[in-house]
Amino acid sequence: MGNYEAIIVAGGGVRAGGELPAYVRRRLDRAIEVQGDAMLITASAGTVHRPPPLDADGFPIFESVAAGRYLIARGVDPRTILPETCSYDTIGNAYFVRTIHVEPRGFRRLLVITSAFHMPRTEAIFRWVFGLDAPPGGYELNFESVSEEDIPPDVLADRIERERASLDRLPATIARIGSMRALNEWLYTEHAAYAVGLSPDRATGGVVDTY
């Protein structure tokens, strides 16, 4: 078990009533297994690929809050759970986790957990975002993937292809953005999940079930 200060669980989707997909629950279960004294940071407000589920009073259910409730139901001390309720994609996961929780708390030794299909792009993004204007000594980033056997093979293949295409486009973006200020500007002027006036390219078909 690593001596982590915080464990980050990447966002993966939330369903009606705050139900989490099995592949997301597996990420959270692994975080419980390795928590030790670490804080658990649950990432994501939701996704651009499907509307947010609403609670009984009509308010949106944030994925990170639903994940936090899942952890509490399994015995995790709520004081060790830090939800991140701003992001709608993996780049946002990394940016908002860092700015909302990691920097204010002074965390340095971090573990990021996500599903195997999501890991190559997740690692590339987190290493990029946490490398921008890093503090002296930088961040110690570790990564662990969990399985996704509950996803139908044809749907998983489509998602893996979307991940590959996104990862292929990432180096061009990284080459343009060399600071946290530049990343903030890019997010709010060019990224369709955050820039006012831009429309996201939403997934369609069965692959939506992986968001």
Q: What is the pLDDT of residue 43?
A: 98
Dihedral of CA atoms 148, 153, 14, 39 in degrees, nearest 10, equals: 20
Determine the average pLDDT of the residues in 104-124.
98
Burial class (CB in 10 A: 0-12, 13-18, 19+), 115: buried
Indicate whether 171 pLDDT > 90.
yes
Contact residues for 25 (Cβ-Cβ < 8 A; gap 6+): 70
Mean pLDDT rounded to a whole number for the chain: 97
Q: How confident is the model at residue 110 (pLDDT cuts 50, 70, 90)?
A: very high
Q: Do residues 146 and 32 touch, judged by C-beta distance below 8 A?
A: no
Vertex 42: Cα angle to 121 and 171 (nearest 5): 20
Residue 151 scores a pLDDT above 90: yes
d(CA 160, CA 164): 6
The pLDDT of residue 100: 98
Chain segment 137-149, per-residue pLDDT in tens: 999 999 999 999 9
Name the DSSP letter for residue 62.
-
Q: How confident is the model at residue 39 (pLDDT cuts 50, 70, 90)?
A: very high
pLDDT digits (tens, 9 = 90+) for 80-100: 999 999 999 999 999 999 999
Radius of gyration of the chain (CA): 16
Mean pLDDT value of segment 28-48: 98
What's the pLDDT tens digit per position in 40-77? 999 999 999 999 999 999 999 999 999 999 999 999 99
Burial call 122-143: b when 16+ CB within 10 Å, e when fewer: bbbbbebbbebeeeeeebebeb
Predicted model pTM:
0.96
CATH architecture of 6-210: 3-Layer(aba) Sandwich (3.40)
**Which residues on adjacent β-strands are paired with residue 109?**
140
Q: Report, as an integer, the average pLDDT of 18-45.
A: 98
pLDDT at 2 over 80: no
Rounded to an integer, the average pLDDT of 14-30 is 97
pLDDT at 189: 98
pLDDT reported for residue 81: 98
Q: Identify whether the C-beta of residue 100 lies closer than 8 Å to the C-beta of residue 62.
A: no
At residue 202, φ and ψ (nearest 5 deg) are -80, 140
Joined together, the tokens standing for residue 157 give: 């293949």
Give me the mean pLDDT over the 152-179 stretch. Answer: 97
Stated as kind and residue range, the H or E segment containing 43 is: none
Q: Under a CB-based contact definition with an 8 Å cutoff, are residues 82 and 35 in contact?
A: no
What is each CA distance from 105 to 6, 100, 101, 144, 211, in whole angstroms?
10, 9, 6, 22, 29
> Residue 209 belongs to what H/E stretch?
none
CA–CA separation, 93 and 57 (whole Å) = 27
pLDDT(30) > 80: yes
